[in-house]
Structure 1
């Protein structure tokens, strides 16, 4: 007897910037499902298979999304090992599956998780992802700072803003960093930014395919501008330029990480930034 087909959940409730959650999920799941996978993320694969959506419209499924997740995972694991009972705050988390990757990577994990995103995204997470007593989902904007009152900061805080700040207006992005630094001394914050030239040369957003245009990215900072935050933004104690993880194939394993480290290029490339607050 054939088993009944699993009912799939529609993904069309995500629009605008929220729809990029499906874009990044698709890329990460594809890389995790390959025989030569660069990321261990079976939850992402199951998520894609559970969502009824035209993922093909996004076009290519390159390694970049998986590499970004590996970068933030490495920073988070390092912080959690030093602060085993900390709270991880995932701002605009989308359909990331970071909690389960980190839970798998850290034996006897005790860290707690606070996921903050808009109501349609949280509704999908509630419907499709497993629950845990260590996870709290908040259906609100990351710019509604009331989420800060829900953070247990007694044992340390690690904040991720993966794929968020570039879609904010400059004053919004800078104020979010400023408020996090003010509220959570001793915490760390990870975020990524595109090359500064993106907002100039693609003011309406970049096309990933003939059928999809990524939303505009009005905010970015060069590595030099980020480093200046130590002197210009109270509470920012240090800024770390996180290396590009190695991927698969000659370009992503060797060329791209080398270019990322090449001095003359640093002010023009994108950034994986880790900020220390204190």
Structure 2
């Protein structure tokens, strides 16, 4: 068993949720690498007190997979840049998705995460790492963008200050024309709560603050306010399991009930409040 200190809880809780989902007979995501990682770690995952049927983080991972697969199908030799990748195992899920084995992968994260990934995850000549902050934009010099770039920021932007998140989006749009970027954001109410540290501590304990979020309308305005952003797509949540995720949400898409329902879902499952895909102009 491998000790994980000082890897953050935010990286480990998403891993645990995906592995728990992948172990189910009726799993919505196939993630054997996540199962392998959880089984190899000396860590008390029970401290999270999460339901074994919590599917929101697995659905988020599936949404990112779907968007990346669409891009890779059209740009099979492109580079996927996983910003703040944590203990995600997206590369192996996509490599098994029938889109070929020519795409390249760049993981960008801080030293503890990279060190743990290098110890526990298999190597691939198509994978490389960059050990630095996402806000040190020199990482962009390492990206081979000749055949396209797909940037993922799964579970990352909410933890950055608003100005830093927007600067990151602007610089990606400037540097990678023809590429795409996907990210998720919690409800705007959670960012407003994060602006009040004392109240945040009372309600959320020592969980890291999430000061950045945008409404769907504010996200759409990025196409006008950020040079290089050609289109903004508000992505639907993939079909899940149970009445809400398998029946209600897919049928509500585009109807008047859609927004109120998604706001309610965002209040209960903040990780799936909004899923956004930016298309950068060429």
2:260 to 241, 261, 265: 265
- Listed as ranges, the matches of 1:157-176 within 5 Å are 157-176=149-168
Unaligned runs of 5+ in 2: 267-272
Does 2:26 match 1:33?
no
Q: Does the C-alpha gap of structure 1 residues 11 and 107 become closer, same or farther in structure 2, counting only changes over 3 Å?
A: same
The C-alpha deviation readout for 1:196-246, integer Å capped at 9, x for no partner, is 01122454558999xx75311100000100000111110000000110111
2:96 to 94, 98, 104: 104
| Kept in 2: contact 1:222–1:267 (CA 8 A) | no
Deviates more, 1:168-177 or 1:196-205: 196-205
| Kept in 1: contact 2:239–2:246 (CA 8 A) | yes
- Listed as ranges, the matches of 1:179-198 within 5 Å are 179-198=171-190
Does 2:170 match 1:178?
yes
Does 2:277 match 1:274?
yes
2:210 aligns with 217
Does 2:12 match 1:9?
no
1:137 Cα deviation (Å)? Answer: 1.1
Which whole-Å CA distance do the structure 2 matches of 1:208 and 1:43 have between them?
34
Unaligned runs of 5+ in 1: 1-7
Q: Does the C-alpha gap of structure 1 residues 258 and 213 become closer, same or farther in structure 2, counting only changes over 3 Å?
A: farther
Aligned residue pairs, count: 266
Does 2:75 match 1:72?
no
Which whole-Å CA distance do the structure 2 matches of 1:91 and 1:118 have between them?
10
- Listed as ranges, the matches of 1:109-124 within 5 Å are 109-124=101-116
2:39 aligns with 49
| Kept in 2: contact 1:239–1:276 (CA 8 A) | yes
Does 2:252 match 1:249?
no
Bigger proportion of residues as helix:
2
Which whole-Å CA distance do the structure 2 matches of 1:139 and 1:94 have between them?
12
1:58 Cα deviation (Å)? Answer: 1.1
After superposition, the CA RMSD in angstroms is: 2.0
1:104 Cα deviation (Å)? Answer: 0.1
| Kept in 1: contact 2:109–2:133 (CA 8 A) | yes
| Kept in 2: contact 1:23–1:58 (CA 8 A) | yes
| Kept in 1: contact 2:109–2:130 (CA 8 A) | yes
Q: Does the C-alpha gap of structure 1 residues 206 and 132 become closer, same or farther in structure 2, counting only changes over 3 Å?
A: farther
Q: Does the C-alpha gap of structure 1 residues 226 and 107 become closer, same or farther in structure 2, counting only changes over 3 Å?
A: closer
Q: Does the C-alpha gap of structure 1 residues 41 and 195 become closer, same or farther in structure 2, counting only changes over 3 Å?
A: same
Moved over 6 A (4+): 206-209
1:4 aligns with none
1:57 Cα deviation (Å)? Answer: 1.0
Does 2:55 match 1:60?
no
1:80 Cα deviation (Å)? Answer: 0.2
Which whole-Å CA distance do the structure 2 matches of 1:136 and 1:55 have between them?
28
What secondary structure is seen at the aligned counterpart in 2 of 1:113? strand
The C-alpha deviation readout for 1:135-187, integer Å capped at 9, x for no partner, is 00111111111110000000000000000000000000000000000000000
What secondary structure is seen at the aligned counterpart in 1 of 2:277? strand
1:257 Cα deviation (Å)? Answer: 4.3
1:255 Cα deviation (Å)? Answer: 2.8
1:3 aligns with none
